[in-house]
Every structure is written in structure tokens, then in C-alpha cells.
């Protein structure tokens, strides 16, 4: 079964503390989990308040389905980030074969 992973780098310019950073990231993670059947985790150590890296993972029997899902998830992250005054600096997806 193929596995898809999406890495998202986010900039949070208005974050003045780790609490601000956590609030934004929790919102993004909760909205993604609610909208899609996937796993989301923070990949960095959380030392920098205004930047974060999120990892998204999904599994399916179809690589084509996963490719489409990763595209939809990436679009959703951009929408969610824009609504919370954050910016997606970079995102890249990878499909790991069987």
C-alpha cells in the first residue's frame, strides 16, 4: 500500500510567544483532521515562535487517490493559513511506493 507524506512549512508573523504559535498550529491540525482522514504532527522542536513545520501522512490502496488527496490537503492548508493570517512558505508531497 502506498503512503503519502506532505511536509508544510508555515510562517506565523504575528506570533509573539509559543502560546500564539501553539494556538495557530492547533487550529490548522484540528481543521485538517476534521476534514480529511489523516495524521498531522509538528516536525520541528518549536524553538522559533514564528515558524513551524507540519507533517501530514495518509495511506490508501491507490497512489492516484493519494496524489489527489495531497493536492486537496495542500489547498486546504493554504486556505486555513490565509484565514489565520499565516503564510505557507513551502510545501512538498511525496508518495512512497509499496
Residue 73: name the closest of 97, 46, 55 by CA: 55
**pLDDT per position as a tens digit, 61-70:** 989 999 999 9
Residue 37: name the closest of 57, 53, 21, 12 by CA: 57
- Write out the E strands in the chain: 3-11, 39-42, 51-59, 87-96
pLDDT bin (cut points 50, 70, 90) of residue 15 is: confident
pLDDT at 73 over 80: yes
**For domain 3-96, is the CATH number 3.40.1280.10?**
no
Tell me the domain boundaries of the chain: 3-96
pLDDT at 1 over 90: no
- Distance (Å, whole) CA 40 – CA 56: 5
pLDDT bin (cut points 50, 70, 90) of residue 29 is: very high
Q: CA angle 26-78-27, nearest 5°?
A: 15
Amino acid at each position: 500500500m502506498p503512503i503519502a507524506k506532505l511536509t508544510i512549512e508555515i510562517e506565523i508573523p504575528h506570533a509573539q510567544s509559543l502560546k500564539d504559535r501553539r494556538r495557530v498550529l492547533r487550529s490548522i491540525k484540528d481543521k485538517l483532521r476534521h476534514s480529511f482522514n489523516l495524521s498531522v504532527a509538528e516536525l520541528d522542536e518549536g524553538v522559533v515562535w514564528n515558524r513551524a513545520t507540519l507533517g501530514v501522512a495518509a495511506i490508501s490502496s491507490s497512489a492516484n487517490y493519494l496524489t489527489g488527496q495531497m493536492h486537496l490537503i495542500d489547498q486546504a492548508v493554504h486556505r486555513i493559513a490565509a484565514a489565520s493570517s499565516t503564510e505557507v512558505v513551502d510545501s512538498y508531497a511525496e508518495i512512497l511506493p509499496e
